[in-house]
């Protein structure tokens, strides 16, 4: 949960950072890349509004890899311990309750491979506005055909620690090809990519491995297309986009300069995800200033 003043601070910080770095070669290169990115996807098209009061704090979104016209969302700190299913017009389809869990600060969702190639929904309890929690958690469970309660014994958990102490994060990625898991921090001037060790769920705990830094801050959501070829990361103001070459890892792909994609300004947009084909992406905001959350779709040209 964020206060209005904290958002003013974030926006001013982003503006100041842009001013300070505006004359650097990296920023010039990024600006050139931005014009390329604008030609890939069209502007956002409103699909529908989320009128359920329980969905006023949506902070994560992922489209099903098995069931057409279905996506999943979750709310952040203090919300219900459940994942909600929507169609691609924003209509509610059902709810998956998660027994035995509490929503400390759930911030993102992803779908990716688990043991034996099965499809798992991953849930990232990684929010920590005050950097006070000694550990964060990832959960995963098999993507169900219907909408019912998932019993606690069918939910796997991994307790994670950051080297150097706690930090806030809201972005979680799963590579659909390798199964690698990543968390992206939020509050540093240069957000960092952390790799989750491959045996985290088997051991039940792991130390996060810092992989690299980005030239932006305030990351709040991200996704990888189902074919693994496209990567999205967004902050409150922009959507960054990378393409991935064959045989390239996610870390290697993210070392290149991102393109900027179209983004409809939202009151507090924290959720983003590709559609099943990867030829469009969706965004949803939390409710702020009386503005009801709207699902936007950005189609590829």
Give the Cα separation of 85 and 207 in Å (integer).
32
Nearest to 285 by CA among 266, 258, 257: 266
Q: Which residues pair with 187 in a beta bridge?
A: none
Main-chain dihedrals φ then ψ at residue 150, nearest 5 degrees: -95, 120
Under the banding of pLDDT at 50, 70 and 90, the label for residue 32 is: very low
Output the pLDDT for position 25: 33
Question: Per residue in 86-125, pLDDT tens?
Answer: 999 999 999 999 999 999 999 999 999 988 888 999 999 9
Task: Please calculate the CA angle 10-73-240 and round it to the nearest 5 degrees.
Answer: 45
Nearest to 213 by CA among 244, 248, 184: 184
Burial 244-279 (b: 16+ CB within 10 A, else e): beeebbbeebbeeebbbbbbeebbbbbbbbbbbebe
Question: Per residue in 162-221, pLDDT tens?
Answer: 999 999 999 999 999 999 999 999 999 999 999 999 999 999 999 999 999 999 999 999
**pLDDT for residue 1 is more than 60:** no
Give the Cα separation of 181 and 194 in Å (integer).
9
Is the pTM higher than 0.75? The answer reads yes
Give the Cα separation of 20 and 51 in Å (integer).
40
Nearest to 197 by CA among 179, 209, 189, 183: 209
CB neighbours of residue 237 within 10 Å: 17
Q: To the nearest whole percent, how much of the chain has pLDDT over 90?
A: 83
Structure-block tokens of residue 286: 């939390």
Token pair 């050139």 in the structure block, residue:
32
Domain with residue 172: its CATH number is 2.115.10
Structural domains in the chain (count): 1
Nearest to 27 by CA among 250, 221, 215: 215
Range of the domain at 201: 4-299
DSSP 16: H
């Amino acid at each position: 949960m964020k206060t209005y003043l904290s958002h003013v601070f974030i926006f001013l910080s982003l503006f100041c950072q842009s001013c300070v770095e505006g004359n650097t070669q990296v920023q010039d290169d990024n600006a050139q890349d931005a014009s390329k990115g604008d030609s890939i996807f069209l502007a956002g098209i409103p699909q529908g509004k989320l009128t359920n009061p329980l969905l006023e704090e949506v902070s994560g979104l992922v489209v099903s890899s098995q069931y057409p016209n279905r996506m999943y969302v979750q709310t952040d700190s203090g919300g219900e311990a459940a994942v909600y299913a929507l169609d691609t017009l924003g209509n509610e389809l059902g709810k998956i309750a998660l027994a035995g869990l509490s929503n400390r600060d759930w911030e993102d969702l992803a779908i990716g491979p688990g043991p034996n190639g099965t499809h798992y929904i991953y849930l990232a309890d990684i929010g920590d506005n005050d950097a006070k929690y000694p550990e964060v958690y990832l959960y995963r469970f098999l993507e169900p055909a219907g909408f019912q309660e998932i019993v606690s014994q069918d939910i796997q958990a991994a307790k994670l620690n950051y080297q150097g102490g706690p930090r806030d994060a809201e972005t979680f990625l799963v590579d659909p090809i390798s199964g690698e898991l990543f968390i992206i921090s939020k509050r540093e001037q240069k957000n960092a990519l952390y790799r989750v060790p491959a045996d985290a769920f088997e051991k039940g705990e792991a130390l996060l491995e810092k992989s690299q830094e980005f030239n932006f801050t305030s990351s709040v959501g991200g996704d990888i297309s189902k074919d693994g070829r496209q990567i999205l990361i967004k902050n409150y103001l922009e959507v960054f986009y990378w393409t991935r070459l064959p045989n390239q890892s996610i870390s290697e792909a993210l070392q290149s300069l991102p393109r900027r994609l179209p983004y409809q300004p939202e009151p507090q947009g924290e959720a983003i995800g590709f559609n099943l084909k990867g030829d469009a992406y969706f965004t949803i905001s939390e409710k702020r200033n009386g503005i009801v959350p709207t699902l936007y779709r950005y189609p590829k040209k």
